[in-house]
């Protein structure tokens, strides 16, 4: 299904240009039209276009980027949370109004409440001339009913046995998400095995070939519905002992689950979530006590460069105990190469840390800009902008 690319209307560009800018470039709407930077031809885009070369899509991305201040740019990287385990609706509205977030993940509430909250936040964004919000969910088969109460009851992920079942369940999940207005699913889980305390029934099983096949079916069905799929938890959480929600745990030795990721990248998955796991006893990839999510060696060196992943890189939730001993962890995951900082403890602090670092580190500033442009491109392809 293809979605209309709303982008910004000429009016929206005028409004953004009229606002005070700290780094944004003031754009003349008439000049934009002459240079074909506005989507005046009603060109439509979908996730099928995200990885494709398209000069008009690139120009549209740049034109939107250039209307934003540095704070508005960095805020695109911050995905906060709403629901019983997240911000209240009032707090979330304030974050949107003050342009401090790019979207929200919905956590543990009823379908009706989530729908009302998403509608209210979209209205707040519109009223305050905020770029379109990205809404996401942990809508794995095993977690759907706890994250969004009142949705269809599904079997657990480890009970899915065939490609056909994975395809059908992904479509059912997409139907639920589209009714709410959710654009991105933090699924499927690519971890191997179900003995780990954090993964349990969330994995497709202990056979890597089966995990790959069922994950690809899930991704295909999800992204055909124009919802971005996400594989996790890079570089592998299934074979470790412990749970990063409660402590820093380590992959000891070889990255046995790494081979699951290249087929997903080649298959066109839009996003990868990086886990808060350290790597030990590995001469090439040892992180020396630092979580993979905070390691440039792992996020940029391995995922971006070696595996050639060009999509959206998401940190795992930033409130996990695995990060307790990491100073300025939100800045560190960004410096490592993550495009989305998921559920930071403090959005204001995160913005300040990143903006201050950008003032003195030109290479990092350019890296942030590339992350933001990827996120704008994603939002265009999702029909949010």
pLDDT tens track for 294-307: 999 999 999 999 99
Question: Measured between alpha carbons, how far is 181 from 163 in angstroms, rounded to an integer?
Answer: 26
pLDDT one-digit tens code per residue, 121-137: 999 999 999 999 999 99
Question: Measured between alpha carbons, how far is 383 from 385 in angstroms, rounded to an integer?
Answer: 6
pLDDT reading at 37 higher than 80: no
Give the pLDDT confidence score for residue 35 in this predicted structure: 37
pTM over 0.85: yes
- Average of per-residue pLDDT values in the chain: 90
Domains of the chain, each with CATH number or no CATH: 1-20+29-75+368-385 (no CATH), 138-345 (3.20.20.300)
Question: Measured between alpha carbons, how far is 158 from 161 in angstroms, rounded to an integer?
Answer: 8
Give the pLDDT confidence score for residue 25 in this predicted structure: 35
pLDDT reading at 1 higher than 70: no
Res. 31 pLDDT band, cuts 50 70 90: very low
Give the pLDDT confidence score for residue 194 in this predicted structure: 64
pLDDT reading at 271 higher than 60: yes
Range of weakest confidence among 3-7, 152-156, 211-215: 3-7
**SS3 annotation, the chain:** CCECCCCCCHHHHHHHHHCCCCCCCCCCHHHHHHCCCCCCCCCCECHHHCCCCCHHHHHHHHHHHCCCCHHHHHHCCEEEEEECCCECHHHHHHHHHCCCCCEEEEECEEHHHHHHHHHHHHHHHHHCCCCCCEEEECCCCCCHHHHEECCCCCCCHHHCCCHHHHHHHHHHHHHHHHHHCCCEECCCECCCCCCCCCCHHHCCCCCHHHHHHHHHHHHHHHHHCCCECEEEEECCCCCCCCCCCCCCEEEECCCCCHHHHHHHHHHCCCEEEECCEEEECCCCCCCCCCCHHHCHHHHHHHHHHHCCCCCEEEECCCCCHHHCCCCCHHHHHHHHCCCEEECCCCHHHHHHHHHHHHHHCHHHHHHHHHHHHHHHHHHHHCCCC
Give the pLDDT confidence score for residue 193 in this predicted structure: 81
Give the mean model confidence (pLDDT) for residues 264-283: 98
Give the pLDDT confidence score for residue 12 in this predicted structure: 39
pLDDT reading at 362 higher than 80: yes
> Percentage of the chain with pLDDT > 70?
88
Res. 200 pLDDT band, cuts 50 70 90: confident
By the 8 A CB rule, do 69 and 98 touch?
Answer: no
Give the mean model confidence (pLDDT) for residues 213-231: 99
Give the mean model confidence (pLDDT) for residues 324-339: 98
Give the pLDDT confidence score for residue 145 in this predicted structure: 93
Q: What strands lie across the sheet with 184-185, from one edge to the other?
A: 184-185, 134-137, 103-107, 78-83, 341-342
């Amino acid at each position: 299904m293809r979605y209309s690319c709303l982008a910004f209307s000429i009016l929206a560009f005028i409004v953004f240009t009229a606002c005070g800018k700290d780094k944004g470039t003031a754009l003349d709407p008439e000049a934009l039209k002459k240079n074909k930077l506005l989507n005046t031809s009603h060109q439509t885009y979908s996730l099928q276009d995200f990885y494709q070369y398209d000069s008009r899509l690139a120009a549209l991305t740049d034109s939107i980027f250039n209307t934003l201040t540095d704070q508005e740019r960095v805020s695109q990287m911050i995905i906060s949370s709403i629901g019983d385990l997240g911000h209240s609706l009032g707090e979330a509205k304030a974050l949107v109004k003050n342009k401090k977030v790019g979207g929200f993940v919905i956590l543990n509430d009823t379908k009706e409440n989530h729908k009302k909250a998403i509608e209210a936040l979209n209205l707040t964004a519109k009223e305050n001339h905020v770029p379109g919000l990205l809404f996401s969910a942990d809508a794995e088969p095993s977690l759907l009913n706890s994250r969004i109460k009142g949705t269809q009851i599904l079997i657990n992920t480890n009970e899915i046995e065939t490609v056909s079942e994975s395809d059908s369940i992904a479509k059912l999940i997409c139907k639920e998400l589209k009714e709410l207005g959710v654009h991105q699913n933090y699924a499927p889980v690519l971890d191997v095995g179900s003995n780990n305390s954090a993964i349990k029934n969330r994995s497709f099983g202990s056979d890597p070939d089966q995990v790959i096949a069922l994950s690809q079916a899930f991704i295909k069905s999800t992204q055909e519905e124009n919802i971005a799929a996400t594989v996790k938890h890079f570089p592998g959480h299934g074979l470790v002992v412990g749970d990063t929600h409660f402590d820093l745990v380590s992959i000891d030795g070889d990255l046995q689950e790494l081979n699951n990721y290249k087929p997903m990248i080649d298959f066109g998955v839009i996003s990868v979530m990086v886990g808060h796991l350290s790597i030990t006893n590995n001469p090439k990839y040892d992180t020396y006590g630092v979580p993979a999510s905070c390691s440039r060696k792992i996020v940029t060196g391995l995922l971006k460069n070696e595996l050639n992943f060009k999509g959206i890189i998401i940190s795992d939730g930033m409130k996990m105990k695995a990060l307790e001993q990491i100073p300025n962890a939100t800045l560190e995951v960004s410096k490592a190469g993550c495009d989305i900082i998921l559920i930071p403890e403090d959005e204001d602090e995160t913005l300040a840390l990143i903006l201050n670092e950008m003032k003195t580190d030109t290479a990092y500033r350019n890296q942030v800009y590339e992350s933001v442009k990827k996120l704008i491109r994603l939002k265009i392809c999702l029909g949010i902008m």
